[in-house]
Amino acid sequence: MNEEYPLQFASDHIALSSKDLAVIYADGLTAVKKLSISFPRKAVTAIIGPSGCGKSTALRAFNRMNELIPGTTTKGEVLFHAKNIYSPSVDPVAVRRHIGMVFQKPNPFPKSIHENIAWAARIHGQKGNCDDIVESSLRNAALWDEVKDKLRKSALSLSGGQQQRLCIARTLALQPEIILMDEPTSALDPISTASIENLITELKKDFTIIIVTHNMQQAGRISDMTAFMLLGDLIEYTSTKKLFVHPEDERTERYITGRFG
């Protein structure tokens, strides 16, 4: 991949792509307008932009989560393994297993730490003893050492940062290829944020990560690629280094330098 001009990835380097993706809400608002973008495999891509730019809507479109919002229409294509996930023959639940999601507010189930992961795995077809999956998921989420002696305790007894890592572990238990993260640290303190950011940097060795963040400094710290959206449009998409050192578009420059947004 050419770091300077990475817009054209070789097809085997692309984990997910969209073509003319548009999302329209029930009130007629076109939140995402004809978005065409490719996400490189095993890398972190950040989507930044001011509130209302369509970044979270776009993220949810990548695993059909907008369908849970009544009256939402999605047009265009999202290609995963060369198949459009919006094809009538595609099961959205299966899509969400392969393309998992972590949300802004940690949302552990009101169950034990162990059951948060085991139950999710069982729901998706895991049979028998789930202890191995629970341990490997917690290890991959850098949480095992902190909770291994209290797996039967309620997940709600964990701190905010630990709960978010538990949610990441729960997603990892389903063995996704891609993890979508919608402002995963905005509800956390700085130390927890730093630990999640380092976790993301580790996870990209095995997973493709697409993260929406309103914190562009976070995008700078952890992402390989950054996409800047404004009013539903993709304005600029390039390597993070290039975007933060020498953005091409004046709107990008004005946003990242704090002149608006």
Contacts to another protein by CB under 8 A: 191, 194-195, 197-198, 201-202, 217, 220-222, 240-241, 244-245
Specify the residue, 103 or 244, whose C-beta has the smaller distance to another protein.
244
CB 57 within 8 A of CB 66: yes
Specify the residue, 69 or 191, whose C-beta has the smaller distance to another protein.
191
Taking the complex as a whole, the smallest distance from the CB of residue 171 to another protein amounts, in Å, to 20
Taking the complex as a whole, the smallest distance from the CB of residue 197 to another protein amounts, in Å, to 6
Secondary structure of the chain in HEC code, one letter for each residue: CCCCCCCCCCHHHEEEEEEEEEEECCCCCEEEEEEEEEEECCCEEEEECCCCCCHHHHHHHCCCHHHHCCCCEEEEEEEECCEECCCCCCCHHHHHHHEEEECCCCCCCCCEHHHHHHHHHHHCCCCCCCHHHHHHHHHHCCCHHHHCCCCCCEHHHCCHHHHHHHHHHHHHCCCCCEEEEECCCCCCCHHHHHHHHHHHHHHCCCCEEEEECCCHHHHHHHCCEEEEEECCEEEEEEEHHHHHHCCCCHHHHHHHCCCCC
Taking the complex as a whole, the smallest distance from the CB of residue 188 to another protein amounts, in Å, to 13
Taking the complex as a whole, the smallest distance from the CB of residue 208 to another protein amounts, in Å, to 17
Specify the residue, 186 or 201, whose C-beta has the smaller distance to another protein.
201
CB-side neighbour CA atoms (13 Å) of 54: 24
Taking the complex as a whole, the smallest distance from the CB of residue 250 to another protein amounts, in Å, to 17
Taking the complex as a whole, the smallest distance from the CB of residue 30 to another protein amounts, in Å, to 32
Residues in the chain, total: 261
